[in-house]
Amino acid sequence: MKVGFIGLGIMGKPMSKNLIKAGYDVTVSDLNQASIDEVVAAGAKAADNKTIAETCDVVITMVPNSPQVKAVMLGENGIAQYMKEGQTFIDMSSINPEASKEISAELAKVGVKMLDAPVSGGEPKAIDGTLSIMVGGDEDVFNKYKELLLCMGGSAVYCGAIGAGNTTKLANQIIVACNIQALAEAMTLAQKAGVDPELVFNAIKGGLAGSTVMNAKAPMMIEGNDKPGFKIDLHIKDLNNALDCAHAVGAPVPMTAAVQEVLQWMHNREGGQKDHSAIAQYYEYLADIKIGR
């Protein structure tokens, strides 16, 4: 099976490398030549998007948002015009579910199947191939490519028709953001009350409050480590999509709106490229403290 992979950023680069390790014939494309060179050195071939569309059995995209996916697929010289019946498009970007439906409808006109398959887990899980993958589309297409997806993820779960993968991802991103904000508030409370935040973390992580989010982000907050595994600007993008989707379907999301304001505060103070755990810096600013330090 020939796999085309478009988008070699923080997530796409290690994901494509895991496909190479699994033995797939991978051809890659990206705007960053250094990223292309790195993945080619790992065993991939390089080509332009048109060649990928014409020669690969399945094309995967991992790009920032809906406009980029639509540009790659449906824009001027978009690859949809070069794909043909029997090929499959898997978008692993996190985008608006309505955009997934629009792209799928256009591809269906030429007999190309599509899955929307966003991921969760950030760069560490992209590197070790244990991402959680949420998939929308035809179930038979999902079953056909599940083995391929599991080369990049620890789980790949079918969620429903096209767009369901991205709806599930939006739900995931709401939970993650609200968990990080709650954790930052709790660590701030501990610090202001004179209790060591690290001891608080160790005491509660095995109880009901414990979570994957807490285990990953509490140590970063305590160390003051804001190196991005998942950038604040990308989480803002995801929550914008969540708010748009919620407004469209009439779902109340007041907590999402609140944490989005905190993320936007960070962005406006040149924090957009920091890890989303840097939400803690908003509380440090308000409380005039440094968590754990």
114 three-class SS:
strand
Terminal-to-terminal C-alpha distance of the chain: 52
What phi and psi values does residue 162 have, to the nearest 5 degrees? -50, 135
What phi and psi values does residue 27 have, to the nearest 5 degrees? -120, 135
Q: Is 169 annotated in the active site?
A: yes
Question: Helix 164-192 vs helix 212-223: angle between axes, to the nearest 10 degrees?
Answer: 50
Dihedral (Cα; 191, 196, 202, 206), 10-degree rounding: -40
Q: Of the residues 125, 169, 237, 274, which is catalytic?
A: 169
Candidates 76, 70, 53, 69; CA nearest to 12 is 69
Contacts of 288 (CB under 8 A, 6+ apart): none
Backbone dihedral region for residue 81 (phi beyond 0: left; psi -120 to 50: alpha; all else: beta): alpha
What phi and psi values does residue 138 have, to the nearest 5 degrees? -70, 135
Q: Which residues pair with 153 in a beta bridge?
A: 131
Task: Quote the Cα angle for 260-68-247, to 5°.
Answer: 40
**Contact yes or no for 181/279 (Cβ under 8 A):** yes
Candidates 249, 182, 233, 228; CA nearest to 209 is 182
**Contact yes or no for 47/29 (Cβ under 8 A):** yes
Catalytic residues: 169
